[in-house]
Structure 1
């Protein structure tokens, strides 16, 4: 049996601000639907990812700022530069023996790590 993680839910305080933020981060806006008053579903996917994020109105009880998620990149410098170019407050590259990381948060304080694992790319 195979199982895949497809969607992680985020709590956000302003759906449109969050959608703009994640679009600037390079996420694809896959779906944005108002089902009825009080129920709006937005799904966005990072480039190359099989897992999306979802947020909206009336779809989760996760509090805004309560998520901590990780992206994986094959070039941490390029990933950081993309975020800087989009106007985000992003950390310097944190080099650890097991991986390299940069950190940023969305407008609600949902925290993100971008991870690069050098051992995955030794033959690149």
Structure 2
């Protein structure tokens, strides 16, 4: 049986502000519907993604900004970062992990992060190794996104 991740619910405090942010970041608006005063839905999809985000009023009891480690995979980290910055999104500088492993932090403003033995090194990975270069940003509530450069997928992916 195949299972595909299709939708991620984001906890936000201000639906209109979140919608404006994600549209400015280039996400496609798929649905915006006010069901009633207690239930409002906004559904958007990142460019080229098969997985979407949804948020609104009455959607989740999770604290606004508590979604972290949301990965957006790109083929050129510097180009993706530049495009977001050109759209007035605050994005960290490109970095890589000293150990060359999965990056598990998310703070967009933290350039020298130690997340349990992890160290950010400024700039993309020296060999531009797939899965090894990152940049981070957050939405207005603090939901944390990670751009990750993947140019060649691991076998089976």
Query: Is the pair's TM-score, using the shorter chain for normalization, greater than 0.5?
Result: yes
Are the counterparts in 2 of residues 9 and 62 from structure 1 also a CA contact under 8 Å? no
SS in 2 for 1:64: coil
Are the counterparts in 2 of residues 38 and 57 from structure 1 also a CA contact under 8 Å? yes
Residue 106 (str. 1) matches residue 139 (str. 2)? yes
Please say which structure displays the higher CA radius of gyration.
2
Q: How does 1:1-124 map to 2 (within 5 A)?
A: 1-68=1-68, 69-96=70-97, 97=100, 98-120=131-153
* CA distance in 2: counterparts of 1:118 and 1:55, whole angstroms: 30
* CA distance in 2: counterparts of 1:115 and 1:36, whole angstroms: 38
* CA distance in 2: counterparts of 1:118 and 1:47, whole angstroms: 17
Runs of 4+ in 1 over 2 A off after TM superposition: 95-98, 117-120
* CA distance in 1: counterparts of 2:79 and 2:16, whole angstroms: 27
Alignment correspondent of 2:110: none
* CA distance in 1: counterparts of 2:89 and 2:47, whole angstroms: 18
Count of equivalent residues: 120
SS in 1 for 2:137: strand
**CA RMSD in angstroms, aligned pairs only:** 1.1
Flag the structure with higher strand content.
Answer: 1
Give the TM-score normalised by the residue count of structure 2.
Answer: 0.73
CA deviation after TM superposition for structure 1 residue 95, in Å: 2.4
CA deviation after TM superposition for structure 1 residue 118, in Å: 4.0
CA deviation after TM superposition for structure 1 residue 75, in Å: 1.2
Flag the structure with higher helix content.
Answer: 1
Give the TM-score normalised by the residue count of structure 1.
Answer: 0.92
